[in-house]
Amino acid sequence: MPGYRDLFDASITDPEAFWADAATAVTWTRAPQRILDDSRPPFYRWFPDAELNTCANALDRHVDAGRGEQAALIYDSAVTDTQRTYTYRELTDHTARFAGALRDLGVGQGDRVIIYMPMIPEAVIAMLACARLGAVHSVVFGGFAPHELAVRIDDVQPAVIVSASCGIEPTRIVEYKPMLDAAIGMSEHPPRHCVVVQRDTHRCELIEGRDLDWSDAMAAASPVDPVPVAATDPLYVLYTSGTTGKPKGIVRDNGGHAVALLWSMKHIYDIAPGDVFWAASDVGWVVGHSYIVYAPLLLGATTVLYEGKPVGTPDPGAFWRVISEHGVKALFTAPTAIRAIRKEDPEGKHVGEYDLSTLKYLYLAGERLDPDTYHWAAEKLGVPVIDHWWQTETGWPIAANPMGTEQFPIKAGSPTVPMPGFDVHILREDGSGCAPEQEGAICIRLPLPPGTLPTLWHADARYEQSYLSEYPGYYLTGDGGHFDTDGYLFVMGRIDDVINVAGHRLSTGAIEEVLATHPAVAECAVIGVPDEIKGQAPRGLVVVKAGASTDGLAAELIQLVRDEIGAVAAFRLVDVVPALPKTRSGKILRKTMRGLATGRDEPVPSTIEDPTVLEKLGPILRP
């Protein structure tokens, strides 16, 4: 098999030949004759003359190939203490029937369906059923506040919303139906119908004439066959997390998406048909779309759907239990999950309580992986810990260590190298290229590879303005970083996380890396705050590990940064805090904290996990 360099070079020098070859892994109802439509830059489209059905590729073809009795989906709910396994045949049958239920409600090709659900199998079935019909699904994270849900309803204008009576947290029940009803009441484009899964833990009242019980809808429906659609037709719309005001709806097409995700499972994640792959995320985020639902099923692997937390359901051994019981080969989660486990179990005692012999890889993404967390996970698990970097917009990794192709030596703090199709450049403000070790804006030369966003939902001009206008001919990722002399990419954080201290540009991510090396620190964040003399100064916020002493810690951290980065960092402000504000996907809300520290009233993102954390930080941060 070709090595990484051969594959990468081929993807850049002759992308059409490269992706034509990759496309042979997909089952098409009309195979592509034309690979790339570049007639209307910067709006490039892949496989413009091809036709397929994504659901048929994810389900039916595996049944037709004689693998219908293989496990497709393992549902493991730590919050209800239940498990269920669906074979490919069973998942196909459920999906075909729910597609029939949606068709009975008037949903057809091109119509939109919002899915507002917890981590239950019906959420996966609803997504696949939409794909089966050629309808466009838009998953909204379960438990989003009514206003944020209403904004998305009005943007995507769904014919039907699929929901559930409740979500279940370790310490509480989250009633979805009142929030759903309130959102529909606020919206200008309410759906014709809602289909609601009634959970045993809590049942809700249905509105006659509008709402249907999932079980009743399924009982009355007949299964439908997959509807072929154009490769360029949208599969889903997913709104970027943390948006306020009018959200940005990331569009994902059918053809390029299937090709890219199939390629990634084999070449990046080293997964084969029949392997068990677990992305410990949520279907409300892009990781859930790409690597809980579509990629594993397109390949014919077994995917795990986990309803629970890394800690508290019931203890820091929750992830290791799931791996042991289900024979997981690769776990994909966010660094914040590993930090939460480490904070509760710094010695890793729970790791030793389970047989993890099937685990070959731990993949981490969603935020920058600090070296200390990397070293802890690598030491405790004894498997390669693979940092990789991508975005909601790209749908699959921009940079990774391609374990199924060629395993590079790991450098802590780097997601390794750009993946085939991603022509990554580090650019200065004037658009010129940076030399190795010079930090700049991370950009990707157009066209972006298959599977990435072709545009925003009904917002071509906003797509250009948001991503393409700063550096013509390039997609601006919004992150800053550099290549080292070995060609490894280092992503140091959002461009607005670079601060200017007395004329010196410093990455707050670099300071965070130093703070995270202290043995008492579980996690940390550094933000830039106003300084009368230097313009800006870095301010550190740290959460300590369970049982760690805070005596003299601030002074030790200040000295550590001085030793590692130098006096130029002017790092003198550090506070120990009980927790950092995060989105539900684990991203630290640095922008919101910067607003507090400068006296601005930043809007609280709808994706925030626990608003009380910000309330407690207010008195600490406000000037």
* Range 334-355 average pLDDT: 93
Instruction: Write out the H or E segment, with its range, that includes residue 442.
Output: strand 440-445
Look at residue 200 in the predicted model and tell me its pLDDT.
95
The residue that leads in pLDDT, 408 or 144, is 408
**DSSP letter (8 states) at residue 329:** S
Question: Using an 8 Å Cβ cutoff, are 146 and 191 in contact?
Answer: no
User: How many CB atoms lie under 10 A from the CB of residue 205?
Assistant: 11
**Does residue 243 have a pLDDT over 50?**
no
Which residue blocks in 289-367 are alpha helix, DSSP H?
295-299, 318-326, 335-344
Query: Rounded to an integer, what distance in angstroms lies between the CA atom of residue 402 and that of residue 406?
Result: 6
| pLDDT at position 600 | 76
Going from the N-terminus, what domains does the chain have, and what CATH number goes with each? Answer: 4-308+388-481 (3.40.50.12780), 502-621 (3.30.300.30)
By CB atoms closer than 10 A (0-12, 13-18, 19+), residue 70 is middle
Start-to-end Cα distance in the chain: 59
Task: Please give the average per-residue pLDDT across 328-350, as a whole number.
Answer: 94
Note the pLDDT tens digit of each residue in 24-64. Answer: 999 999 999 999 999 999 999 999 999 999 999 999 999 99
Looking at the predicted structure, is the pLDDT value of residue 580 above 70? yes
Of 539, 563, 543, give the one whose Cα is nearest residue 553.
543
Which of 51, 48, 46, 47 has its CA nearest to residue 28? 51
Percent residues over pLDDT 90 in the chain: 77
**pLDDT value, residue 559:** 92
Query: Residue 177 pLDDT > 50, yes or no?
Result: yes
Examine the pLDDT at 470 and tell me if it is beyond 60: yes
pLDDT recorded at residue 500: 66
pLDDT(505) > 70: no
- Mean of pLDDT over the chain: 93
Please list the alpha-helical segments (H only) found in 335-464.
335-344, 371-381, 460-463
The answer to whether the beta carbons of residues 118 and 94 sit under 8 Å apart is no
Is residue 325 within 8 Å of 74, Cβ to Cβ? Answer: no
342-356, 383-397, 513-527: which has the minimum mean pLDDT? 513-527
- Residue 242 confidence (pLDDT): 42
pLDDT tens, 543-579?
A: 999 889 999 999 999 999 888 776 767 889 999 999 9
pLDDT tens digits for range 273-320: 999 999 999 999 899 999 999 999 999 999 999 999 999 999 999 999
pLDDT for 513: 83
Per-residue pLDDT at 244: 41
pLDDT digits (tens, 9 = 90+) for 356-396: 999 999 999 987 787 888 999 999 999 999 999 999 999 99
DSSP track, 467-486: IISSSTTEEEEEEEEEE-TT
